[in-house]
Amino acid sequence: MASKVLGIDIGGTGIKGAPVHLKRGELIADRHRIPTPQPATPEAVAEVVGAIAKHFDWKGPVGCALPGVVRHGTVYTAANIDKGWVGTNAKKLLRKVLPEPPVVLNDADAAGLAEVRYGAGRRHRRGSLLLLTFGTGIGSALFHDGDLVPNTELGHLHFLSGRHSGIAEHYAAARQREDDALSWEAWADRVQAYLDYVEELLNPDTILIGGGVSKLKRWSQFGHHLSTRAKLLPAELQNNAGIVGAAAAAD
Ligand code: BGC
């Protein structure tokens, strides 16, 4: 088992990576960030991933997280990234720029692994735990007794509330707060409607909320507007969750 793995988080605006100490779940060097090339085609992104590995002169295992369904290395959906990813064998493609074939997984699944192993989920592994990340989209990671059920994509649920009928992330993602110039309270109202729906479907024991809103200052403005039957907690690893979780997945 490797003790250090390079974690890389491929996002819509930035591609970030750092070597991660697996025992501690901490970055062991400053993370390196390169803006996501536009268009973010698989080839253009692969080049950046290679540049990040080169930056750290990396020779060992690598884990990569990206915002889409990933099964056995192949990407199946691309809601907020270049459509060219659909059908791409990311593991094979990224292998060309890395020292070893990487483990590739969904970004929310990676963040969930990081939280369950090192963060807010580590004391709540028993039973079912759901991490929801609020950013450009809504990501989800579902665990039962600490085991991940990958690719749940609950941000793409169609749901009907008093005011909305359609895809959940088009209504309640953090991006909607900015796009629709919503107050924290108005956005929390949307998130609450979504949480109610998700709780009705899955009844998890614990819900972790990730994304920018999990930062302590933000959570203090926002968290008290939400109420769930599940224990509700902010995620702890914030910006580094994708990197740490991608590395953990490659363990
Ligand atoms: C994607 C998910 C991703 C989430 C957060 C969604 O639009 O479909 O795969 O986890 O955004 O990035």
Per-residue pLDDT, 80? 87
Per-residue pLDDT, 131? 98
For ligand 1, the distance from its centroid to the CA atom of residue 145, given in whole angstroms, is 23
Residue identified by tokens 């779940």 is 25
Residue identified by tokens 């008290």 is 224
Give the residue-averaged pLDDT of 106-129: 98
pLDDT higher than 90, residue 182: yes
For ligand 1, the distance from its centroid to the CA atom of residue 44, given in whole angstroms, is 20
Q: Does ligand 1 come within 6 angstroms of the Cβ of 107?
A: yes
Residue nearest to atom 7 of ligand 1 (CA): 137
pTM over 0.95: yes
pLDDT higher than 80, residue 1: no
Q: Does ligand 1 come within 6 angstroms of the Cβ of 11?
A: no
For ligand 1, the distance from its centroid to the CA atom of residue 67, given in whole angstroms, is 4
Per-residue pLDDT, 202? 98
Please name which of 151, 53, 40 lies closest in space to residue 102, comparing C-alpha atoms. 53
Q: Does ligand 1 come within 6 angstroms of the Cβ of 236?
A: no
Give the residue-averaged pLDDT of 226-248: 97
For ligand 1, the distance from its centroid to the CA atom of residue 70, given in whole angstroms, is 11
Could you tell me where the beta strands, DSSP code E, fall in 87-185? 103-106, 128-134, 138-144, 147-149, 158-160, 165-167
Residue nearest to atom 10 of ligand 1 (CA): 139
| Best probe residue, ligand 1, of 66, 71, 151, 153 (max atoms within 8 Å of C-beta) | 153
Per-residue pLDDT, 69? 98
CB 119 within 8 A of CB 237: yes
Per-residue pLDDT, 122? 97
Dihedral (C-alpha) 239, 49, 70, 129: value to the nearest 10 degrees? -20
Q: Which two tokens stand for residue 62?
A: 């690598």
Per-residue pLDDT, 65? 98
Q: Report how far residue 237's alpha carbon sits from residue 17's, in angstroms, rounded to the nearest whole number.
A: 15
Per-residue pLDDT, 219? 94
Q: Does ligand 1 come within 6 angstroms of the Cβ of 68?
A: yes
